[in-house]
A and B are shown apart, each in its own frame.
Chain A
């Protein structure tokens, strides 16, 4: 067992891709949540002594808070929102982003949770306006997701603990930290 988890990359800049949407997809157990947690832990290294707050929004939440401290994320910085349906989750994401309290917002989609292109665009605009990093977690990558700056697919090879990250698509918003992510992880 590898403990503590190995860093995702030693060269990822200590800054969120502010104001952009990043999608991380993969099947259950592929390691996509762990990738996000590592990104949050590594990118959210407190420069001013106070780590940014994180909002974790899910429909029918299965996130396990006990995993967060393992990745070096203090639980008191994380607000969990467990929504009943996709519409509520999107509404909550907008409220959370607009509050300007959170440095990163994670919106986890279940299998049936579809976000329309219009909703994605709205989300991207509000994220951009409030300079908040928004991570979308899904089982399958979204199609026609042009407002998403970066689409990553996560999978594991064999019994490796570290997931492999494949860059499916990138737009201008994520380009500044994309090269280091490619180099640092075992991206294919």
Chain B
């Protein structure tokens, strides 16, 4: 079996007219497959996939590219893969399986796949095509069967170039593709239906918003980045009752998001809360979605043998969603820190840092700590064996315990350098008659409840 050639070029030939900027956005999103991407203005995207052919089959690439293209409204797209950009373009345009079966008219695609050469190129080409047809040739296979030594004297220099291009020995230089700096996606907010009703409710808006978010996230993935801050802008119908024709919602994400599946629920949550407080003054006619800040994405290659990457994505999406609703301080991963003051013996770990999330279980402590700790210690009233927890009003008791055993003390003191945090406490594990176990400390004459061995 012959070895595969090094170079494999995929060509996506768009069959319909796309909205402005969509082809460039599709090319940008295609960069997830390969950094070598080129455009044929308004018509086609070329991707060099030879370097990564061991990572995926050409069939799976074609299937995924169709899905990606549909996100950018390219529903009618023809995809072909060949050794050169010209061959791929010609095969896609004429929908034939082999180069030999291509018509002679496809010469122009071989010579000028990126549409960057002189337009006058066509004139001598027409002349040559006329000469070939008069000889009864109609397919490229018939042309390539002519010996090379006879081509130049009979049909000129250009025919020799075409011959080399068809055989994959010559290809025009690739133009660099530079994606636009801003990731901005816009969509008309017109609900379905024959009358083209405009959108006013959140559910419809989120449904419409999904398309630009999908596109923006696909473009981000092409750049190997994730979104850290995004904005959604609603352009409103110009009713006389509204103060401003635009409403902008800027969302800083607790954890950067790399997929629309994680981002959309966060946006929905934010929009729902904002619009509950201040509803839109008039229906939305256009939605703009922009990625304002990005961070580097995850490793480009997917691990096919573990769910870890998928879990990480889900973790980020979940934490960002919970943080958006409850605040960053209320959603956390904890880590122990070297402080004696029990309530400050742990801190919130950095959710962004993978290193922080791969710490090992801490070694055993000298003394057992309770499973419950009060946010601030509460003073107890002590009378003989009875410990009482008073109401804030000080008149009645919220709870009381008949202490049977006091196990301890564990003396904790320190932080003498800080006026605010200095402490000296004798901690006891107190068991009540009913079997409840409390964590109390004595400081001076006072007894405080600090937690429960619950």
Chain A residues within CB distance 8 Å of chain B: 1-5, 26-34, 37, 53, 62-70, 72-76, 78-84, 88, 91-92, 95-96, 99-101, 155-161
Contact = CB atoms under 8 A, between A and B. Distances in A.
8 contacts: A1-B368, A2-B368, A29-B452, A29-B453, A74-B359, A79-B319, A79-B331, A95-B318
Most A C-beta atoms less than 10 A away, residue of B332, B349, B356, B405: B332
Contacts of A79: 319, 331-333
Given A74-B361, A95-B318, A159 B371 contact: no
Contacts of B431: 156, 158-159
B357 A76 contact: yes
A2 B318 CA distance: 38
Contacts of B318: 95-96, 99, 101
Given A66-B365, A76-B357, A101 B373 contact: no
Nearest to B438: A29
Contacts of A26: 454
Contacts of B356: 76
Contact of B326 (A27, A63, A65, A83): A83
Which of B331, B371, B374, B431 has most chain A Cβ within 10 Å?
B371
B437 A29 contact: yes
Given A30-B436, A92-B325, 15 more contacts: A27-B434, A29-B435, A30-B435, A31-B454, A34-B453, A34-B454, A64-B372, A69-B361, A69-B363, A70-B369, A76-B358, A80-B332, A83-B330, A101-B314, A161-B437
A92 B454 contact: no
Interface of B: 311, 314-315, 317-319, 321-322, 325-326, 329-336, 342, 345-346, 349, 356-365, 367-375, 404-405, 407, 429, 431-432, 434-438, 451-454
A75 B361 CA distance: 7
A95 B373 contact: no
B451 A81 contact: no
A17 B453 CA distance: 25
Most chain B C-beta atoms within 10 Å of own C-beta, residue among A32, A37, A64: A64
A95 B364 contact: no
B333 A75 contact: yes
A67 B331 contact: no
Contact of A62 (B314, B346, B372): B372
B349 to A, nearest CB: 7
A69 B434 CA distance: 28
B436 A82 contact: no
B331 A69 contact: no
B194 to A, nearest CB: 37
Nearest to A73: B361
A64 B368 CA distance: 12
Given A69-B362, A74-B360, A64 B371 contact: yes
Given A29-B453, A81-B331, A67 B369 contact: yes
B454 A75 contact: no
Contact of A64 (B315, B335, B370, B438): B370
B371 A33 contact: yes
A20 to B, nearest CB: 22
B156 to A, nearest CB: 66
Nearest to A26: B454
A8 to B, nearest CB: 14
B372 A63 contact: yes
A45 to B, nearest CB: 12
A36 to B, nearest CB: 9
A77 B360 CA distance: 10
A150 B330 CA distance: 30
A34 B371 contact: yes
B168 to A, nearest CB: 48
Contact of A101 (B311, B360, B361, B404): B311
Contacts of A70: 364-365, 368-369
